[in-house]
Chain A
Amino acid sequence: MDTLLLSRIQFGANISFHILFPTMTIALGWMLLFFKLRFNATGDRKWMDAYMFWVKIFALSFAMGVVSGITMSFQFGTNWPGFMETVGNVAGPLLAYEIMTAFFLEAVFLGIMLFGASRVKPWVHTMATFLVAFGTTMSTFWIIVLNSWMHTPQGFELRDGVVHATDWLQIIFNPSMPYRFVHMMLASGLTVAFLIAGVSALRLLWGDRSEAVKSTLRVGIIAGAGLIPLQILAGDMHGLNTLEYQPAKVAAMEGNWETGPNVPLVLFAVPNQQTRSNDFEVAIPNGASLILKHSADGVVPGLNDFVSEDGEIMHPRVAPVFYGFRVMVGTGMAMLALSWGGLVLLRRYGAGNMPKLALYVFAGMSFSGWIATLAGWYTTEIGRQPWLVQGVLATKDAVSDVSSGMVWTTLVGYLVIYAALIIAYIGVITYLARKATHGDRLPTRDYPTAGAAAPAMLQPGE
Chain B
Amino acid sequence: MSLFSDPAVWLPWTFAALMGLSILIYVVLDGFDLGVGLLMPLADAREKDMLVASIGPFWDANETWLVLAIGILLVAFPPAHGLILTSLYLPVFFMLIGLILRGVSFELRAKAPPRQKNMWNASFFAGSLLAALSQGFMLGMYVMGLEWTRSNVAFAMLTAVFLTVGYSFIGATWLILKTDGALQSHAIRWAKGGIWGLIMGIGAISLATPFVSARIFDKWFGMPQMLYLLPFPVLSATLIGFLWWKLRRLPRENDRWAWSPFVSATALFVLAFGGMAYSFYPYVVPEQITIYEAASAPESLLIILVGTLFVLPAILGYTVLSYYIFRGKATELRYD
Contacts and interface: CB of A to CB of B under 8 A. Distances in A.
A95 B71 contact: yes
Interface SS majority for chain A? helix
A88 B307 contact: no
B89 A99 contact: no
A117 B300 contact: no
B297 interface: yes
A398 B71 CA distance: 18
B245 interface: no
Question: Chain A, interface size: which category?
Answer: 35 or more
Contacts of A111: 56-58, 60-61, 322, 326
A120 B325 contact: yes
B299 A165 contact: yes
Interface string A400-415: 1110001001100110
A66 B78 CA distance: 23
A408 to B, nearest CB: 12
A41 B171 CA distance: 43
Interface in A91-107: 91-93, 95-97, 99-101, 103-105, 107
Interface string B54-81: 0011101101101110111111101101
B107 A119 contact: no
Contact of B64 (A99, A119, A428): A99
B228 interface: no
B75 A81 contact: no
B334 to A, nearest CB: 7
B104 A63 contact: yes
A432 interface: yes
A457 B90 CA distance: 49
Nearest to B53: A115
B212 to A, nearest CB: 23
Interface stretch (B267-275, B277-285, B310-318): B310-318
B71 A424 contact: no
A300 to B, nearest CB: 39
Give the most central of A60, A73, A78: most B CB within 10 Å. A78
Contacts of B325: 112, 116, 119-120
A447 interface: yes
A70 B99 contact: yes
B78 A424 contact: no
Contacts of A161: none
Interface in B76-103: 76, 78-79, 81-86, 89-90, 92-93, 96-97, 99-103
A55 B58 CA distance: 18
B107 A108 contact: no
A89 interface: yes
Interface stretch (B5-13, B108-116, B255-263): B108-116
Contacts of A96: 71-72, 75, 304, 307-308
Most buried by A among B61, B72, B101, B308: B61
Contacts of A119: 325-326
Contact of B97 (A64, A104, A413, A444): A413
Contact of A60 (B92, B108, B308, B311): B108
B92 A67 contact: no
Given A78-B92, A93-B75, A116 B112 contact: no
Interface of A: 52, 55-56, 59-60, 62-64, 66-71, 73-74, 76-78, 81-82, 84-85, 88-93, 95-97, 99-101, 103-105, 107-112, 114-120, 162, 164-165, 168, 400-402, 406, 409-410, 413-414, 417, 421, 424, 427-428, 431-432, 442-445, 447, 462
Minimum-distance CB pairs A-B, first 8: A81-B82, A92-B75, A77-B85, A111-B57, A67-B103, A107-B61, A88-B78, A84-B78
9 contacts: A70-B63, A85-B82, A89-B297, A96-B307, A108-B315, A112-B325, A117-B335, A413-B97, A444-B336
